[in-house]
């Protein structure tokens, strides 16, 4: 199943900038989540095949991998630490060169149930990690979300667009805390000299995402496995998204960490194709030869206020950090559904 992690593509996106990690120590939060699993594998890959002098990764999460997983990484400079990121992260005794705060509760179904934890992991987490960067004079990166744009009226959406985010619905705990955390990054950069920037991630998907995640591609894969009809949510206007294979996302995160400019924000995603859910299902069916059927149902409350469109303008990321997505949507779908065929069981959503 490791073969479905397209690490060659991630390494290609990072390119020669990977050499900036040689001999360095990185503190990274959220490393046991979906994106975090990719980060761990990328660091292992770089240390094994790319870097002349390996880097060291201090990987923090509320959970750590199983003993079987730990054994895969124990010889590659990766050290796992268990910590609840809703509470202050202690200052490490060793010197840190790079810090990434990626921990978060990203699934709407999950943050609806844990709104305070969602806020705390964003704000307490970013404050703690920024303090560590400040003390160590370390480069800092925060992973934000396209949710901060809400329903954008400019498509593709540039980083200069200011969305109107509601503070009083079931999605606000995630959206507003991400935006506030971006402001922490700005304040620490301008007032305390921390070399810090942020990325806004757009609809990443790929191997490693939990079958219990409520987002659309895991739900399509689960329906394909169970051969049940997929429920998709009614809307006056069918929401449209661009979907980004995770290899592109992780490559972009590393490019921003290594090349991002102080106080700046970068969109990380793909600017096309922008498709509705039913169009996405058609693409999946055609790409991996499935016959997933769907029906429209009333949305749960947390989806009533979801943004209608998400499509990034990545011009700034291309020009300033050298971010060029390498993996096309169809290849990402092939990798993901190849992995879910083995990993998923076909649960009810």
Residue 218 · residue 285 · CB < 8 Å: no
Residue 8 · residue 327 · CB < 8 Å: no
Would you name the residues annotated as active-site residues? 174
Helix axes 329-343, 246-259, angle to 10 degrees: 110
Q: What is the DSSP string of 250-279?
A: HHHHHHHHHHPPTT-EEEES----EEEHHH
Residue whose C-alpha is closest to residue 179's, from 116, 281, 265: 265
Residue whose C-alpha is closest to residue 161's, from 320, 318, 329, 315: 315
C-alpha dist (Å) from residue 311 to 159, 245, 293:
11, 14, 26
For residue 330, what are its two tokens? 């169809």
Spatial separation of the C-alpha atoms in residues 291 and 226, rounded to whole Å: 12
Spatial separation of the C-alpha atoms in residues 127 and 129, rounded to whole Å: 6
- Residue 47: phi and psi, rounded to 5, are -65, -30
Residue 143 · residue 181 · CB < 8 Å: no
**Number of C-alpha atoms within 13 angstroms, CB side, residue 84?**
5
The Cβ of residue 60 has, within 10 Å, a number of other Cβ atoms equal to 29
Q: Is 188 exposed, middle or buried (0-12, 13-18, 19+ CB in 10 A)?
A: buried
Residue 82 · residue 63 · CB < 8 Å: yes
3-state secondary structure of 333: helix
């Amino acid at each position: 199943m490791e073969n479905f992690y397209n690490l060659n593509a991630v390494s290609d996106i990072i390119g020669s900038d990977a050499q900036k990690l040689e001999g360095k120590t990185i503190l990274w939060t959220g490393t046991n989540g979906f994106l975090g699993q990719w980060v761990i594998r990328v660091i292992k890959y770089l240390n094994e095949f790319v870097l002349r002098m390996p880097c060291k990764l201090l990987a923090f999460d509320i959970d750590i991998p199983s003993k079987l997983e730990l054994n895969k990484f124990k010889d590659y400079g990766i050290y796992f630490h268990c910590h609840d990121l809703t509470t202050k992260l202690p200052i490490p005794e060793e010197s840190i060169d790079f810090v990434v705060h990626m921990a978060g509760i990203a699934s709407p179904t999950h943050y609806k149930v844990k709104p305070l934890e969602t806020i705390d992991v964003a704000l307490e987490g970013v404050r703690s990690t920024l303090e560590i960067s400040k003390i160590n004079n370390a480069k800092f990166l925060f992973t934000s979300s396209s949710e901060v744009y809400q329903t954008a009226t400019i498509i593709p959406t540039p980083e200069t667009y200011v969305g109107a985010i509601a503070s009083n619905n079931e999605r606000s705990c995630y959206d507003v805390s991400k935006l506030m955390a971006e402001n922490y990054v700005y304040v620490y950069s301008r007032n305390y000299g921390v070399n810090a920037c942020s990325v806004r991630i757009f609809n990443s998907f790929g191997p490693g995402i939990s079958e219990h995640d409520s987002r659309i591609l895991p739900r399509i894969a689960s329906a394909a496995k169970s051969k049940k009809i997929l429920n998709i949510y009614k809307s006056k206007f069918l929401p449209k998204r661009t979907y980004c294979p995770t290899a592109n996302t992780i490559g972009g995160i590393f490019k921003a960490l290594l090349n991002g400019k102080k106080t700046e924000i970068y969109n990380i995603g793909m600017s096309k194709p922008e498709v509705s859910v039913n169009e996405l299902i058609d693409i999946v069916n055609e790409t991996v030869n499935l016959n997933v059927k769907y029906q429209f149902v009333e949305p749960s409350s947390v989806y009533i206020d979801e943004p209608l469109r998400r499509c990034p303008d990545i011009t700034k990321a291309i020009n300033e950090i050298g971010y060029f997505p390498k993996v096309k949507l169809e290849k990402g779908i092939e990798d993901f559904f190849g992995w879910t065929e083995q990993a998923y069981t076909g649960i009810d959503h």
